[in-house]
Amino acid sequence: MVNEFDREDYVVFLLSEWGDPHHPSPYYADRMKFITKLIRGKTVLDAGCGIGHFMVEVEKQYGNTKTYVGLDISTAMLNKAREYLPKGNFIRGDITTFNIMADTIVCVDVLIHQEDLTPFINNMWKNAKKEIIFSMNVYDDFLGRRAHDGPIYFSEGLIMHRTKKVRSILEDLKQLGGIEEHIYDELTSVFRVTKNE
Ligand SMILES: C[S@@+](CC[C@H](N)C(=O)[O-])C[C@H]1O[C@@H](n2cnc3c(N)ncnc32)[C@H](O)[C@@H]1O
C-alpha cells in the first residue's frame, strides 16, 4: 500500500494546510508550543517528524541547549524537512523498529493514524532514557453514551482510542515512573510518560 505521506502532491497539500516549519498556521504553532514545553530531556528524538515543525519550536524555546533528531518513514516528508531546515538532522526510519537512544522521544500526531498503538509505544519506550511524550485522539464517553472499548474511525484516516486502553498499554511498560495526561482540546491529549532510572 502506498503511504499517502509518501506522495509529493500530498506533502504539498499538507504544507498549504499546516504552513511551512518557519510559518506554521496558528493552530499548528500552538500545538507545537504546548508539547515542546513538556520536554525535560536534553536529547530529543522526534518520531514521525514530518516536515520538521517541531524542530523549529524546540530551537525557539531552548536554543541550542537541546539536540534534535527527526525520524520519519516517508522520504517525501524528509525531503521537504531538509529543504526547509538544511541544518536539521533528519533520518529515515520506522518508529516501530528504530534503534536510536534519546532522553526524550516525542511523537506528535502520528498515533492519530494507528490502529495498533502497542508496537509504537513499546519501541519508543525502549529507546527513551527519560520519557516519551505523544499526542493522540482519545475518548472516554462519546456523545454521552458509554462507548465500546475499541478504536473509533473517522474520515481522513483519523483514529480515536479509548483513554483506558492507552493507559493499560502504558501501565505494562517496564521501569514506569509516572503517566501524565495533558488535555490539549476536546479530542486531543498529550501523554508524558516518565521512566525510573
Ligand atoms: C500527521 S503527520 C505528523 C508529522 C509531524 N509529527 C507533525 O506533527 O507535524 C504523521 C507522520 O508520521 C509519519 N509516520 C507514519 N508512520 C510512521 C512510522 N511507522 N515510522 C515513522 N514515521 C511514520 C508519516 O510519514 C508522517 O510524516
The full set of domain ranges for the chain reads 4-195
Report which residue type is found at 93: G
CB-side neighbour CA atoms (13 Å) of 177: 13
pLDDT at 140: 82
Residue 169 CB contacts under 8 Å (≥ 6 apart), including other chains: 117, 118, 121
How would residue 145 be classed by pLDDT, with cut points 50, 70 and 90? low
Assess whether pLDDT exceeds 70 at residue 141: no
**Ligand 1 pocket: which of 18, 28, 46, 110 to mutate (most atoms within 8 A of CB):** 110
Contacts of 137 (CB under 8 A, 6+ apart): 112, 158, 159, 160, 161, 187, 188
- 90 CB near ligand 1 (under 6 Å): no
If you measure from the C-alpha of residue 49 to the centroid of ligand 1, how many angstroms do you get, rounded to a whole number?
Answer: 6
- Looking at the CA of residue 108, tell me the nearest atom of ligand 1: 6
- Separation of 86 CA from ligand 1 center, angstroms? 19
In this structure, which topology does domain 4-195 adopt according to CATH? Answer: Rossmann fold (3.40.50)
Q: Quick one: 69 exposed, middle or buried, by C-beta within 10 A (0-12, 13-18, 19+)?
A: buried
Average pLDDT over residues 112-138: 97
* Count of Cβ atoms closer than 10 Å to residue 136 Cβ: 25
The residue nearest atom 27 of ligand 1, judged by CA position, is: 50
pLDDT at residue 191 greater than cutoff 50? yes
- In the structure grid, which three cell numbers stand for residue 40, read together? 525535560
Gap from CA of 145 to ligand 1 centroid (Å): 32
Q: How far apart are the first and last CA of the chain?
A: 40
SS3 68: strand
Read off the pLDDT band of 155 (50, 70, 90): confident
106 Cβ inside 6 Å of ligand 1: no
Q: Lowest mean pLDDT: which of 3-7, 65-69, 93-97, 141-145?
A: 141-145
52 lines ligand 1 (CB under 6 A): no
Q: Cβ(134)–Cβ(158) under 8 Å?
A: no
* pTM (two decimals): 0.95
Average pLDDT over residues 33-42: 98
Ligand 1 centre distance from Cα of residue 110 (Å): 5
Half-sphere exposure of 1 (CA within 13 A, CB side): 3
- What's the pLDDT tens digit per position in 52-84? 999 999 999 999 999 999 999 999 999 999 999
pLDDT at 2 over 60: no
How is the chain split among helix, strand and coil, in percent rounded to 5? 35, 30, 30
